[in-house]
Amino acid sequence: MKDKPMNIFLTQSPNLGRAKAFLLHQVLAAAVKQQNHQVVENAEQADLAIVFGKTLPNLTALLGKKVYLVDEEQALNAPENTVAQALTEAVDYVQPAQQDVQPATASGMKNIVAVTACPTGVAHTFMSAEAITTYCQQQGWNVKVETRGQVGANNIISAEDVAAADLVFIATDINVDLSKFKGKPMYRTSTGLALKKTAQEFDKAFKEATIYQGEETTTATETQTSGEKKGVYKHLMTGVSHMLPLVVAGGLLIAISFMFGIEAFKDENIAGGLPKALMDIGGGAAFHLMIAVFAGYVAFSIADRPGLAVGLIGGMLATSAGAGILGGIIAGFLAGYVVKFLNDAIQLPASLTSLKPILILPLLGSAIVGLAMIYLLNPPVAAAMNALTEWLKGLGSANALVLGAILGGMMCIDMGGPVNKAAYVFGTGMIGSQVYTPMAAVMAAGMVPPLGMAIATWIARAKFNASQRDAGKASFVLGLCFISEGALPFVAADPVRVIVSSVIGGAIAGAISMSLAITLQAPHGGLFVIPFVSQPLMYLGAIAVGALTTGVLYAIIKPKQAAE
């Protein structure tokens, strides 16, 4: 065993201190490399594992591996001998009984690792991370929060962090890869609850955390103890999260193309063909891919990696047939559940198991979903989408005003929650069908709550304490960026009055925008994309009227500070 280069995984007993574990890892890693072997970060890649401490960890990934348990003092004093002995004396790993794993408790020094992720990867991702960090630091615990936003993962949790963790706290609204946390006590909730009810969620986490065995064995836990709906909502938001960059980039490129003239892209001689090139990139590529990517990641959320290709294919078929976002939703869910069923139903010998994800599931899944989309689903769905598109394009001002008010009110009910996201997905989805008025109404209304709260703190200054007035300043900036969650501190303190004021103002902003037939191709950006709307000054007026309505109304109905 010791004559060939080995992949070695280093870890420690569950109760070993974080500082000592880090030191031992560094010392043993150097000894491993000195003997021409390689340290790997994932147990799945290892030929053997060296565990320093008194007891073996409960890690499913070590099943079938050789392990060597060494006293930490011996490992620290003689790392080279430890590695040599591990190569010759390692034994088959025996997983400790579940009851032998000590659950995390709320008392004493704790090492907490957390992951946050929301559909847009902007507001809730980072606000919940800040809330988690602040709460843990107040309790005197060590904490590290990995944020998985639109720019990728930041503050990445390392293998050493995972090994030393007493609790893995997952606050996500979309499905994310959690494979590196196998074998650790884990609690899962939403970003909203982690932000608004941090203490409550940590209390529940210490009582209800269970050993994470991987997605393949924990699908039943997808409905968490958070009390918020998961399942369908989480799958949809996973698709939206991955689709958004395409819609933003494509929409803005199309808008820039229109700045040369509404039909400038039809003439290759204008500006050296730049308008046409921008339209080809934005409309021909980005918008053509958006439904496929959406459907692919809905399927990925349901069936993991085997569902991705099938969802992409189903989504592209929906796009080609003109079935739009409705076709993408159907394709994504169909692909995900078909692949999930096939994966559970098809049982192969161990020697052939590797064929399932790369041959059997993509082949059968694509054939079933593709044929269903072409022959059964695309024709009626495309007809329904065409009817909806024509209806929206032909709306009179009265009907447009009503629809705008409904969408605007929905955007302000739960500030980033399911109702807000339903309106947002509708606006975003209609962009793919070249209907841009709902998106403009949605964004105008979404900016109202944080702007309105800022205005309220200015005109009724005496009713707010110093921290609330500071929150108002931050809320104003977030509102300009179309981050509705900027109003959440006010919602938490006074939910009924804030939500009522916001819904009224948001409905007014949405109604004005829709009744004026203002269009917007980009689904995010706030103030930064207003130059790309069809009527910028009127659009700013709609936002201002809605925000002032919310601000003045809340300033009037909010009780005086002394009465709180």
The residue type found at 48 is: L
| 3 state DSSP class of 2 | coil
Give the whole-angstrom CA distance, residue 412 versus residue 485: 10
Cβ-in-10-Å burial (0-12, 13-18, 19+) of 65 comes to: middle
Give the whole-angstrom CA distance, residue 295 versus residue 332: 4
Give the whole-angstrom CA distance, residue 411 versus residue 494: 18
- Which one is catalytic: 118, 136, 412, 481? 118
Asked if residue 93 lies in contact with residue 65, where contact means CB atoms within 8 angstroms, the answer is: yes
The residue type found at 20 is: K
Angle, helices 437-459/397-411, rounded to nearest 10 degrees = 60
**Six-digit token string for 484:** 């509705």
**Six-digit token string for 491:** 């919602």
The CA distances from residue 513 to 9, 76, 168, 449, in Å, are: 58, 68, 44, 16
- Report the C-alpha dihedral over residues 360, 366, 371, 377, rounded to 10 degrees: 140
Catalytic annotation present for 118: yes
For 196-216, b where at least 16 C-beta lie within 10 A, e where not — what string? bbbeebbebbbeebebbeebe
Count CB atoms within 10 A of the CB of residue 108. 9
Three-class HEC string of 194-252: HHHCHHHHHHHHHHHCEECCCHHHCHHHHCCCCCCCCCHHHHHHHHHHHHHHHHHHHHH
Query: Dihedral sign, CA of 511, 516, 521, 525?
Result: negative
Give the whole-angstrom CA distance, residue 26 versus residue 121: 34
Phi, psi (rounded to 5 degrees) for 297? -85, -20
Q: Of the candidates 351, 537, 508, 519, which has an alpha carbon nearest to the alpha carbon of residue 437?
A: 519
Place of tokens 């349901």: 302
Asked if residue 66 lies in contact with residue 92, where contact means CB atoms within 8 angstroms, the answer is: yes
The residue type found at 285 is: A
The set of catalytic residues is: 118
